[in-house]
Chains A and B, each alone.
Chain A
Amino acid sequence: MFVACAFAASAIAILMIGRISSWAFFNSIFDAIVLADFLNLIGRSTVPAFLIGVICCHEGLRVSGPVTVVPQAVTKAMLRAVAVTLIFSAAFTVLIEQVAMHVEPTQFAEECLTTVSDRDCEASGRPWDFCGHFNFQPEATGVFIDADE
């Protein structure tokens, strides 16, 4: 919901500026979204929510004494929740980037993937997707070339 509202507001702002086509703007946004973005979004939203709930319950259950200690416990719980959220976000971003370096294809491999399909897309008038044609040539990426050669 946050992402949808943010992109809708972005499109409205782009329309108000009026120097970029909103259709091309949306196409460039959807072209730029990859699997790592979704993993990042889900991981960085779900796990900190787990930790926030546990920390708040932990701090609440640790309270003992008069009622005046309750605001102190709330302050401590919120500070710890924010700290854990930031630490986990930083660690998860580093982890995702390290994983993405090994999973995502290289730029040269992406060129091999899109060389022929770009021509098909230009012919079909839909340049924002692969039109269902993948021209993957594994020997052209250099992955399978022997190092001794």
Chain B
Amino acid sequence: MRVPFYSQILTGRGIISGMGRFFRYFLRNTFYLGAISSECVAGAVRPSSWVLPVRQRFTRQILFGGVEAIPFTMFAGVTAGIVLTLNSYKFLEFTGQIDFLGPVLSILVIREAAPFFACVIIISASASAITTEIAMMRVNGEVDLLEGQGVNLVQFLVMPVRSDLRWRRRG
């Protein structure tokens, strides 16, 4: 049975070796993600990569994860704006610095809330769907079939998703 890497640290083969294994695990995954990212960017800037199935998948991703998430984004913005305004107003009025309400809100909303909420909305709206879709394709053997036909998996599966997420900067 395969055990997680952190259980080996806790159950004993030494702290140093555990840290070494952790950093090897971290570096291996980081380099793997970097390799996929590089291939995606290289494919996205090459016009010949945007064949019809890739464009169809890209459009479907925008419609599913971007357009359908607009009402929830607006709802989250309104809720966060009201909550941040009321809390900031109470605290600044208590301290006598009510003139700083505008700068405080601009910092809170633009610097902190908007990027964080954008990422949370992307994760909640798209991340689980993307992972489930690709994992089910893997389990059902569709990915093996594509590989057997010589199809570039990164170009046909990963690149439309990443390009779609890149254009959904709704913060």
Contact = CB atoms under 8 A, between A and B. Distances in A.
Given A5-B74, A9-B85, A57-B158, A37 B165 contact: no
Interface in B149-171: 153, 157-158, 161-162, 164-166, 168-171
Contacts, number: 222
A2 B114 contact: yes
B119 A20 contact: no
Contacts of A1: 70, 73-74, 77, 170
Contacts of B50: none
Interface residues of B, number: 66
Classify the interface of chain A: helix, strand, loop or mixed.
Answer: helix
Interface in B30-89: 32-33, 36-37, 40, 70, 73-74, 76-82, 84-86, 89
24 contacts: A1-B73, A1-B170, A2-B73, A2-B77, A2-B118, A9-B80, A10-B109, A13-B81, A13-B89, A41-B171, A45-B170, A50-B166, A52-B126, A53-B164, A53-B165, A56-B127, A56-B131, A56-B161, A57-B134, A60-B130, A61-B143, A67-B136, A78-B128, A89-B116
